[in-house]
Amino acid sequence: MERASNWEYQMLINELTQGMEQAKQLRFYLCTTSPSETQDLLLQRILSSYEKALLILKWSGSAGQVQSAAPESSITIDGSPRSEDFNKNFKEHQEQRDTSKKRKMLPTWIEQARVTSENGLEGPTDDGYSWRKYGQKDILGANYPRSYYRCTYRHVQNCWATKQVQRSDDDPTVFEITYKGKHTCNQSNNAVPPPASPEKQELDHKPQQQNQMLFDLRAKLRVDTKGLDNKEMPVHFSFPSTFANVDSENHNFPISKLADDVHLGTYSPLLVSPALSESNYFSASSTYEMKSFRGAHNLQYSESDIAEIISAHASTTNSPIGGMEFPIDPVELDPNFPFNIQGFFT
């Protein structure tokens, strides 16, 4: 994979270098034929963007090798660098450079989900995790308000995953979901139903569940690098949807390719949530840090939260996360992973 990654980096660098050279040529051409300050400014910006992109890529490439002890793959289905790794690398790079004590940025990525009338769902709320809404805000220039959710088990398991749901202006059936931070809680029971449990199997056959699976498959995954420097580095990796194309209504996707991958056990890292490929930003051992920190001057927890915390002592005893300081990614799979694909478990 390292080979594929390096190859991809080279290709990207080559492409960017070519683009930059062509922009330079264009500048030369424009300067000699019709000199204009605006054109020059634009070209400067284009060139500067290329230079930055190259710089980032080159740095990221070498960092990827330095950090090759990282526990999981850094490439996508076609071998391209995973933007989140890139994101992380870059952020860490930034943090090394500036000495600000700003709180560590959480990994951020965006999914898009379409809601259709036939699936009868009100909104893109069920992604396998349970969330609690904690706010809603009207956003300037947006027709619809933005909703803010946090993990239900924030206080119980110190899980700081949040998401924002924003209905699209262009297409009201599309919801843009911005996830921030990965789940460190143990929701695996919800996220990935165990294959052999009779109760679960019964649940799995409920039509609602099937609809949910189809719904989940509609989600279009797009990895964003907002956590970088949103002004200066408009780097944006965009993946065409894999899940959506598995949907029964859409036959454009080369399903055979996916099936091959699945059978060969080489299913794409793309199918694994980027959230799960990231190191934990908060270790489970610091579970009650926040409570003691804030409890001194105001009542931070509702009775229900306390109940959550108390009950968590029971539920976390069998948690695979408890006490672990390293990611469990190779085992943990994306809740959206299409397990109901024919032949996956057979």
Partner DNA sequence: AGTATTTGACCTAT
Partner DNA sequence: ATAGGTCAAATACT
Q: Which residues are at the interface with DNA (CB under 7 A)? A: 130-141, 146-148, 150, 152, 162, 164, 298-300, 302-304, 307
Residue closer to DNA by CB (options 116, 304) is: 304
Residue closer to DNA by CB (options 299, 314) is: 299
> What would the two tokens of residue 242 be?
């894999």
Nearest to 166 by CA among 188, 191, 189, 135: 135
Distance CA 321, CA 327 (A): 8
Residue closer to DNA by CB (options 154, 218) is: 154
CB 137, min distance to DNA, A = 4
Residue closer to DNA by CB (options 158, 162) is: 162
Nearest to 312 by CA among 205, 92, 154: 154
Identify the DSSP state of 117.
Answer: G
Q: Which residues are 108's β-sheet partners?
A: 180
- Helix segments in the chain, DSSP class H: 2-33, 37-66, 83-97, 154-157, 188-191, 198-204, 207-218, 243-246, 255-264, 289-294, 303-315
Residue closer to DNA by CB (options 129, 131) is: 131
CB 5, min distance to DNA, A = 31
Nearest to 156 by CA among 21, 304, 8, 5: 304
Residue pair 327/71 in contact (Cβ under 8 Å)? The answer is yes
CA dihedral 315, 316, 317, 319 (to 10 degrees): 110
Residue closer to DNA by CB (options 82, 150) is: 150
Strand, helix or coil for residue 171:
coil
Distance CA 93, CA 97 (A): 6
> What would the two tokens of residue 122 be?
């009100």
Residue closer to DNA by CB (options 133, 263) is: 133
Q: 324 Cβ partners below 8 Å, 6+ apart?
A: 283, 284
CB 94, min distance to DNA, A = 12
User: Token match 């039509």: residue?
Assistant: 207
